[in-house]
Amino acid sequence: MKICVYKPNPLSVKYIKQWEEANNIEVDIVDEPINDDNISRLEDADGLVLIVSNTLSDDIYQKIADYGIKQISITSVGYDKIDLDKADEASLIVTNTPDYSPESIAEFTVMMILKLLKKDSEIQKDIENKDFRFSENKLGKTLRGKTVGIYGLGTIGYLVAESLKPFGVKILATTPHPKSYAKNIVDFVEFDELLEKSDIFSIHAALVDENFHQFDKNAFSKMKDGALVVNTSRGGLIDTAALLDAIETGKVDGAALDVYENEEGIYGKDKPDYEDEIFDILLNHPKVDMYSHIAFFTDTALENQIKYALDNALEVIETGDSKNRVN
């Protein structure tokens, strides 16, 4: 048996080797994303794992199936880069890797909220310039007593709520499937109430057609003046131009963004060649903390991502289905 893994992070290779040895299954590592030039590596393979950072071409799904592959296992929770309709047409089972390390993202989110509240980026800029004054641009805010609105209360959202509760905050949540066990720490509300009552927004929903640009001009208009927005989920949940307008008018006092709606071709690269005026504005804006889709990036997450993805591929090969199937 052989499973092909396309474009793994070099730091993940040792975990692939560990899985290979533990399961006595050959893993073929391909250093580039899957494409017409390297898809032939599937010739004698039984399974496929993809690290997907860019949208797959429409014709690649059937080409994968033509090699006898029955599944695509991806290493992320989100699968918005995969066209599930095209996968269905090619009879490919698509699996994701939920819960590979929700703690990694939840902890990073709490850090982002605190850094945003305490004006850490301004403090660090001034320190670099040897400006140690107690000036207005560094005047922070306390977290205690604030209302935090969580959009999307899955595993990560719940861990964020659980982590924030000891700070003395009130937590509201809007989510399609409220969990009864969460009612001891959050109040479930409709989206409009979330917008109207929250001081800080933490976004943790999967991106689907129905919630694209969920946070748009209309949503920002309903927020309290001076709200803070934090996103570690998917960039497409926010209309970035509308966010910038809300910051300029003072409706939003600051944003911390680990994801960006047009990040494809930018994040994961060294000095990427891009033309994106809005992205450059975000990078240099004094009220925006920009990260690089890196909240997940811990040793625990890297190990679990690749091993869980390989487990998913093996499960489909052996049983014809998977508990982590998304189509």
Of 193, 187, 221, 202, the C-alpha closest to 143 is: 202
Strands 147-151 and 170-174: parallel
Domains of the chain (ranges; CATH) run: 2-100+299-319 (3.40.50.720), 102-290 (3.40.50.720)
Q: What is the pLDDT of residue 115?
A: 98
Cβ neighbours around 78 below 10 Å, total: 18
**Please, what is the Cα angle at 205 between 104 and 287, to 5 degrees?**
75
Percent of the chain at pLDDT > 90 equals: 94
Run of H or E including 6: strand 2-6
pLDDT band at 178 (very low <50, low <70, confident <90, very high): very high
Q: What is the pLDDT of residue 83?
A: 95
pLDDT band at 301 (very low <50, low <70, confident <90, very high): very high
- 293 is an active site residue: yes
What sign results for the dihedral spanned by CA atoms 152, 154, 160, 163? positive
Q: Which two tokens stand for residue 41?
A: 């590596």
Q: What is the pLDDT of residue 223?
A: 98
Of 10, 56, 50, 7, the C-alpha closest to 32 is: 7
- 263 is an active site residue: yes
DSSP string, 97-141: -TTS-HHHHHHHHHHHHHHHHTTHHHHHHHHHTT-----GGG---
Tokens 């000036």, residue located: 135
* Distances from the Cα of 276 to the Cα of 207, 247, 254, 269, angstroms: 22, 19, 21, 15
Q: Which two tokens stand for residue 269?
A: 């690269």
φ, ψ of residue 231 to 5 degrees: the values are -135, 115
- Are the C-beta atoms of 256 and 291 separated by less than 8 Å? yes
pLDDT tens digit sequence for 51-108: 987 789 999 999 999 999 999 999 998 898 899 999 999 999 999 999 999 999 999 9
Alpha-carbon distance 287 to 129, whole Å?
18
Q: What is the pLDDT of residue 54?
A: 75
- Are the C-beta atoms of 101 and 232 separated by less than 8 Å? no
Least confident of 14-18, 51-55, 158-162, 234-238: 51-55
Average pLDDT over residues 267-271: 92
pLDDT tens digit sequence for 116-154: 999 999 999 999 999 999 999 999 999 999 999 999 999
For the chain, give the mean pLDDT: 96
φ, ψ of residue 229 to 5 degrees: the values are -125, 125
Residues near 175 by beta carbon (within 8 Å), at least 6 away in sequence: 150, 151, 152, 153, 154, 157, 188, 205
- Are the C-beta atoms of 50 and 71 separated by less than 8 Å? no
Alpha-carbon distance 284 to 302, whole Å?
30
41, 122, 204, 293: the catalytic one is 293
41, 122, 204, 234: the catalytic one is 234
Mapped to the 3 state alphabet, what secondary structure does 33-45 carry? CCCCCCHHHHCCC
pLDDT band at 193 (very low <50, low <70, confident <90, very high): very high
Q: What is the pLDDT of residue 39?
A: 97
CA atoms within 13 A on the CB side of 326: 23
- 234 is an active site residue: yes
Percent of the chain at pLDDT > 70 equals: 100
261, 263, 303, 315: the catalytic one is 263
Computed on alpha carbons and rounded to an integer, the radius of gyration of the chain in Å comes to 21
The whole model's pTM is what?
0.91
Q: What is the pLDDT of residue 78?
A: 87
pLDDT tens digit sequence for 29-38: 999 999 999 9
* Distances from the Cα of 132 to the Cα of 121, 122, 124, angstroms: 14, 11, 10
Average pLDDT over residues 208-233: 97
- With residues binned 3-state (H G I as helix, E B as strand, rest as coil), the percentages for the chain, rounded to 5, are 40, 15, 45
